[in-house]
Structure formats: C-alpha cells, structure tokens
A and B are shown apart, each in its own frame.
Chain A
Amino acid sequence: MSRVMEAPPARPEVLREPVSSSAFGIVEKPLSAWERITNVGALRKVALLVILAVVWEVYARSLDNALLFPTFTATVAAFFKGLFGGDLFAKAITSLRVLLMGYAAGIACAALLTIVAITSRIGTDLLELLTSMFNPLPAIALLPLALIWFGLGAGSIVFVIIHSVLWAVALNTHSGFLSVSNTLRMVGRNYGLRGLPYVGRILIPAAFPSILTGLKIGWAFAWRTLIAAELVFGVSSGSGGLGWFIYENKNQLEIPNVFAGLFTVIVIGLLVENVIFRVVEARTVRKWGLQS
C-alpha cells in the first residue's frame, strides 16, 4: 500500500542543444532510379498494356483460329492498314464528329437543367423527377423513335447521345453543387455574388470533382450509344462511322478488321481518359487539393 502513496521522484530539468544536422549523415536522400521510374503512373500503365497485349498474342496463337480470335499483331496490322490505306481513319473522324456534337449538346442541356435546379426548389424537383424517369432508360431503346422523328442520319444519333449524356452529367453536377461546403457558399455571398456569377465563380469550381466524374461517365455513355446506334445503320449512306465499319467487316468475315475497329474505339477511349481528362484533372482538382 505504501508504494502506491509514494510521490514520483524529484527529477532535475533536462536541457539540451540540438545537434547540427551535419553531425548525423543523410537527412534527405534522392530516390533510386527504379523507385523514380515506378513512381511515374504513365509508365506503370504502359507496362500493364504491354502485359495485356502479350497475353492476347499468346492466347490467340494457341487458339490458332483467325476467324474467331485474330492475334494482336494481326489486329495491329489491320489497324494500321485501315488507318493509312483503308477508310478506318475517315470512319473514326465521322464517328468522333457525331460524338462531339451529341456530347456538347448533352452537356449544354445538363448545364441548363442543373442551373434551373439549384436556383429554385421546383427546379430541383423537376431534375430529380426527370432523372429518375429517364436515366434508367437505355439510349438505344429510343433509337426507333429517333429514326421516326429525325430520319436516317446524324440527327437521330445525336439525339440518342444527348439522352445518354444528359442525365449522367446533370445528376453528378447537381450532387456536386449540393455538397459544396456551407462556408464557401457564405464566402461567395459575402463578396456580393448572386445568380450566374455565383454559380460560375463559386459553385462550379467547388463542385468540379463531381462535375468531372459526370463528364467522364457521360463520355463513356456517349461512346457506347454511338457505336451501338451505328451498328444498326451507318450515319448516312456511304459514310458510316466505326460501328458501321465493324458491322460491314463482320458481314465480309474480315475478322481482323472487326478487331481493328474495336481497337480504334479502345485507343480513342484510352487517349481521352489518360490524356485529355488527366490533363484537366492535373490543372484543376489536383492542383487545388480537391482530389489527391
């Protein structure tokens, strides 16, 4: 018992001078070359792509059936042949033009809808209602209707692309606006900002991570819808897009060309995601510390 009652011993003060850092070797050490290489995200992804290509090549060779599954090298050869000798490049441009028209129009509609939604309560209700009604509706299911309304041409495809982009972008943008911190809202209003300047200078930058996610999802949806719609018919007679290219070559049993068409879709997807969206991210949300 007496030990519990004992006070801690009196101890003297300890005073020390910090030692100069030159006294103990390395404080900062540069990373090794290997560490620096593996720190580059692009290189890691390229390595993964190479592995996937090798797996493809090995599997296709072991299968040895060019009609079912051509090799990677055959696909790449068909890709370059189509690009420089054939009409693959023209088809890709046709597809991209329609795609960008639909994408831009879809984003414009989404912007309009979300601005209405955040400035009024009834607008919010409208957005929620429309999104829950139309978001689950596959864009391709609207194609027969679009063909009746806009005829057999780019108009129909643009219409279904707008439908596929609009809801994803509007939903993400709106939820992004709702999650902007109350402090930032008050700061914006403190500066006397209201209406559109308030949306443009406070809400949009603050909600940019969500908006960017919406744009990415919208982009992917647009591609899917475009290719699916083009598989049904060419954009206009004689100058169809990538989907039509794939469909035509399948009919002629030019399977390496079918793969080359799919490969083009994949390459464009990779470029957009890893170059365009990556640059936008690096210049915005990463630089601002909104996303790590």
Chain B
Amino acid sequence: MTTNARNAKDAAPHAPLLAVRGVTLQYKTKEHLVTATYRVDFDVHRSDRFILLGPSGCGKSTLLKAVGGYLKPIEGDIRLKGETVTRPGPDRMMVFQEFDQLLPWRTVKENVMFPLQASGRLQRKAAEEKALEYIAKVNLTPFADSFPHTLSGGMKQRVAIARGMAMEPDILLMDEPFAALDALTRRKMQDELLALWEGTRFTVLFVTHSIPEAIKVGSRILLLSPHPGQVKAELDSLPRDANGADVTALEQRIHAMLFADAVEEQRAPEVVS
C-alpha cells in the first residue's frame, strides 16, 4: 500500500484515531543499543480503553512514550488522526506513574489550569472554570487551593488525571498511573476512572503489567511479549458486570500466554543489535 492510499484510508470515517504501524523502537544505554519493541502494529479507535499489557521489558512504556512523541521510531510510523507524531504536544496528555508529575509551585487548581493556558487554548477565566469542573469530577473540590506536597499519592494521581482530562486531548496516555498506589486506593481509582469514562467517553491508552487491572480497566487489550516487545495478541476485555468465572478464565488465558514467553525467553538470548 502506498503512503497516499494509507492516508486516504486513515481519513475515512471509520479510520482509527491512533494508528501504530510496524513500529520498532530502540534506545541507547551506556553499553548497548536496546531494541525495545519490534514491528508493533495496533489501532486505537475513539472511546477505546486500550491497554498495553506485558511483563517488564516488553517495551510497553517505551511504546507509550513514542506515542507521546518523546521518542522517534526507527522504523514504522505513529499517526494520530492521520498526522505523523513527531514531538510531544498537548493533544496527547500523559499521566505518569510518578507522584512528582505535578508542578510543586502551583496549587491543584493552577496545575490543572496551567496546560490550558500554556497551550494558549483558554484565557485565565475560562481555564479556571474548566479546571474547577474537572477537579469536581475527581472529587477534589475542597483541595483546589492546596499545594501538591500536602496531598496523598492517590489524590496527586487524581489531580494528574483531572489535568489530563481538562485538556480534552484526542487521547489520554496513562503510564501505569496506579502502580505506586496501595492496593485499596488502587481499586478505588480504577472504579473512579471507569466512572469518569462513563461520563465523557474519552479515549485512553493505558499501560499496565497487572492482568486483573487490564481486564477491569480496559475494553481492548494488546498483549506484548518481552525482549523485544512484539504483539502477542489483541483481545477484547470483558464488560464490567462479567461474572467471576469468565474473568478468571480470561486472566488464566492471558497468564498462559505471558508464561509461554517466560519459557521462550530462557532459550533465546536478549536481542541487542
């Protein structure tokens, strides 16, 4: 297929929002050139809750960073609404795993307002209204004027999510946003995220290494094998009201696929080109 034909296809009504085609990613450490992913393909459609799932070393975070524009693929391309991704931008808001992603010198409200103003999208007044609206959505209205260092980890992540959503990006990129939380807070945050999604139907690309989290949060799951990351499978997740037996069955099926990789990994040496 020529590039033009592909462009035409991407612009069609049912074209995917995000198209990742044959993406190979490499990064340099001090001694090695590491291939993080090898010829990965997937499509994310509007209102998908798309999960990148895999063990550590499968390049899922690297892949997310490439979609974020922080990293250039050495092969293949990443297109958002038909446009090749070349650098970071506010149309792809990131929610990071780290708690230190909020600007410490700004209050909760100012943190949410900042990207709205910095990108020139809204004036101060409108940005403030929008920020308060999304802070209310994550139930943090009483803390709007607090500084981040006074919040708990879960609250900081909720601010980061509000900040990402307030920008109303084409796609929200989440890099294991709940991984550093305790188990109880984590479950609560997953429920809140789903409730938020019910309200606005935003598109989200979500990286995790937890199978239960992938099944619970995701609507579609991309399974990656490690060293280097390659697409193993792309599955539909289960609806939220699925019965426990189905969830367990899917969990075991995914676990078996990942476990098969672990055995393979012992035979094949690490790919370093």
A residues with a Cβ closer than 8 A to B are: 181, 183-184, 186-187, 189-193, 197, 201-202, 205-206, 208, 284, 287-290
Contacts and interface: CB of A to CB of B under 8 A. Distances in A.
Nearest to B99: A183
Given A181-B98, A206-B104, A191 B90 contact: yes
A194 to B, nearest CB: 9
Contacts, number: 65
B88 A192 contact: yes
Contacts of A187: 94, 96, 101, 103
Given A192-B89, A192-B118, A184 B68 contact: no
A191 B100 contact: no
A184 B88 contact: no
B105 to A, nearest CB: 4
Those 9 A-B pairs whose CB atoms lie nearest each other, nearest first: A289-B149, A288-B104, A205-B105, A189-B88, A191-B115, A288-B105, A183-B98, A191-B118, A183-B101
Interface in B88-146: 88-90, 92-94, 96, 98, 100-101, 103-105, 114-115, 118-119
Contacts of A181: 98, 100
Given A186-B70, A201-B118, A290 B88 contact: no
User: How many interface residues does chain B have, given as a range?
Assistant: 20 to 34
19 contacts: A183-B100, A183-B101, A184-B101, A184-B103, A186-B88, A187-B94, A190-B68, A190-B89, A190-B115, A192-B88, A192-B119, A197-B118, A206-B103, A284-B105, A287-B147, A288-B104, A289-B147, A289-B150, A290-B105
A201 B114 CA distance: 10
B229 interface: no
Given A289-B104, A290-B104, A190 B148 contact: no
A209 to B, nearest CB: 10
Nearest to A198: B118
B114 A191 contact: yes
Interface of B: 68, 70, 87-90, 92-94, 96, 98, 100-101, 103-105, 114-115, 118-119, 147-150
A29 B164 CA distance: 42
Contacts of A205: 103-105
Contacts of A191: 90, 114-115, 118-119
A190 B70 CA distance: 9
Nearest to B94: A190
Nearest to B97: A183
A193 B87 CA distance: 11
Given A181-B98, A288-B149, 16 more contacts: A183-B101, A184-B100, A186-B96, A187-B101, A189-B88, A190-B89, A190-B90, A190-B93, A190-B115, A191-B118, A192-B88, A193-B118, A201-B118, A205-B103, A208-B105, A287-B105
Contacts of B105: 205-206, 208, 284, 287-288, 290
A166 to B, nearest CB: 26
B160 to A, nearest CB: 9
A197 B93 CA distance: 19
B159 to A, nearest CB: 12
Nearest to B116: A191
A190 B104 contact: no
A191 B92 CA distance: 9
B119 A186 contact: no
Nearest to A182: B98
A190 B88 contact: yes
Contact of A192 (B90, B96, B101, B147): B90
